[in-house]
């Protein structure tokens, strides 16, 4: 077997905050092969976005940030590179799409300029060639009248169109890995499906590996090969997406899936809610971090941190399939 495209090894991201140190990502290991799709799900504060940015190298060692562990993209450790070395990887090997398309675009630059910038920087294209390629990219992401749109400013586009432009920017230099951090959260449902369909078909056509980060289990369930569920900075369960959704083994994954209202359930059915709140990451609970909210927790869970063994980090993993899927 060839070396995986992405290897994340025991990654820890620690921030020094005015209220004390906070470990946002706490020992995450992942691998991703070329062309594969990985979903990362978790609630706000679970560390999924910090993980995405740390993989990308946007968060790296600095005065208030410590990153330990390794992120190897095609063999190169992104946190050992010089800033210039990282810039050379961005766009060509690894690219990212963020949640809010408006803040990802420069309001004073035309759409076409956003696209030709990286082509000129990385590929050394001439102004004219970059412009032609920019129009091709807009066509690729399904924007009607690409020539006219390339001359417009971001505020003249709708939210869905802007997100398409952001995707086109990410794809400009044929990256091998695309990290999409909540790419559709700011969009309406009818537009959301169009964007997810687009990402999926482009990934297949361009043989690109994708990491899809989302709080929305529905978004991840139908569109990824594998999924990692995060809670309080740690991966609590990972596996084939189909298996995790049909038979979650970590009590958190199970409770999360069950707490979502279902369209085919009767109205006014009582939702099996998870008690309590997600933990404060400045002072996380000892042992298993889900133990204070877990229906199955025992004394051992509160003292001893479960390791991720056989893709699940739980002392007492669930053994039965969820009723809703039975």
Q: Which is nearer to other proteins, 65 or 185 (CB)?
A: 185
Which residue intervals of 42-82 are DSSP H helices? Answer: 48-56
Which residues, 36 to 55, sit near other proteins by CB under 8 A? 43-44
Name the minimum Å distance from CB 6 to other proteins: 25
35 lines the binding site for other proteins (CB under 8 A)? no
Are the CB atoms for 213 and 49 separated by under 8 Å? Answer: yes
Integer CA distances (angstroms), 205 to 35, 146, 148, in order: 10, 20, 26
Residue 326 in the binding site for other proteins (CB under 8 A): no
Residue 201 sits in the site that holds other proteins (CB under 8 A): no
What x-and-dash track marks residues 81-120 binding other proteins by CB under 8 A? ----------------------------------------
Write each residue from 135 to 174 as x if it is in contact with other proteins (CB under 8 A), else as -, in one continuous string.
-------x-x-------------x-xx-------------
Please list every residue from 268 through 287 that binds other proteins, using CB under 8 A.
Answer: 268-275, 277-278
In a 3-state reduction of DSSP, which class is residue 176? coil
Residue 24 tokens, joined: 């946002």
Out of 3, 265, 307, 321, the residue judged to bind other proteins by CB under 8 A: 265
- Number of residues binding to other proteins, judged by CB under 8 A: 45
d(CA 153, CA 163): 13
Only one of the segments 26-34, 167-175, 210-218, 308-316 lies at the binding site for other proteins (rule: CB under 8 A); that segment is 210-218
DSSP type of residue 64: T
Q: Does 240 sit near other proteins (CB under 8 A)?
A: no
- The reply to whether 3 sits near other proteins by the rule CB under 8 A is no
Q: How far is the CB of 7 from other proteins (least distance, A)?
A: 29
Kindly give, in sequence order, each residue whose CB lies less than 8 Å from that of residue 208, ignoring residues fewer than 6 positions away: 35, 171, 175, 176, 177, 178, 202
The residue from 201, 259, 286, 303 that contacts other proteins (CB under 8 A) is 259
Rg (CA), the chain: 21
Residue 250 in tokens: 């970590």
Closest CA to 230 of 253, 247, 249: 253
- Say if CB 290 and CB 236 are below 8 A apart: yes
- Give the number of residues written for the chain: 326
- Let me know: does 40 contact 227? Beta carbons within 8 Å: yes
**Considering the complex, what minimum distance in angstroms separates the CB of residue 13 from other proteins?**
21
Residue 49 CA to residue 98 CA, distance in Å, equals 10
- Per CB under 8 A, does 255 bind other proteins? yes
Q: Which stretch binds other proteins (CB under 8 A): 48-56, 62-70, 189-197, 297-305?
A: 189-197
For other proteins, the binding residues (CB under 8 A) are 43-44, 142, 144, 158, 160-161, 188-194, 215-219, 221-223, 245, 255-256, 259-275, 277-278, 293
């Amino acid at each position: 077997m060839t070396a995986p495209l992405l290897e994340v090894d025991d990654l820890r991201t620690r921030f020094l905050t005015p209220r004390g140190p906070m470990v946002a990502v706490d020992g995450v290991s992942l691998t991703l092969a070329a062309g594969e799709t990985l979903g990362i799900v978790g609630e706000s504060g679970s560390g999924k976005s910090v993980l995405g940015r740390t993989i990308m190298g946007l968060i790296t060692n600095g005065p208030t940030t410590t990153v330990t562990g390794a992120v190897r993209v095609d063999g190169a450790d992104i946190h050992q590179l010089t800033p210039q070395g990282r810039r050379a990887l961005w766009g060509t090997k690894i690219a990212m799409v963020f949640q809010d398309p408006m803040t990802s675009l420069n309001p004073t630059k035309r759409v076409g300029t956003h696209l030709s910038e990286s082509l000129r920087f990385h590929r050394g294209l001439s102004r004219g060639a970059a412009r032609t390629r920019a129009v091709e990219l807009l066509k690729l992401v399904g924007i009607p009248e690409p020539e006219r749109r390339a001359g417009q400013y971001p505020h003249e586009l709708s939210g869905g169109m802007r997100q398409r432009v952001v995707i086109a920017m990410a794809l400009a230099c044929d990256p091998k890995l695309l990290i999409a951090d909540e790419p559709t959260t700011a969009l309406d449902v009818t537009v959301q499906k169009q964007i997810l369909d687009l990402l999926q078909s482009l990934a297949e056509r361009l043989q690109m590996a994708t990491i899809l980060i989302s709080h929305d289990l529905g978004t991840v369930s139908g569109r990824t090969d594998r999924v990692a569920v995060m809670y309080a900075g740690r991966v609590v369960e990972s596996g084939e997406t189909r298996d995790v959704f049909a038979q979650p083994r970590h009590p958190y994954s199970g409770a999360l899936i069950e707490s979502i209202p279902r369209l085919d359930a009767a109205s006014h059915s009582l939702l099996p809610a998870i008690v309590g709140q997600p933990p404060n990451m400045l002072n996380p609970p000892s042992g298993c971090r889900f133990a204070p909210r877990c229906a199955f927790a025992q004394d051992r869970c509160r003292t001893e941190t479960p390791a991720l063994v056989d893709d699940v980090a739980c002392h007492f993993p669930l053994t039965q399939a969820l009723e809703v899927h039975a």
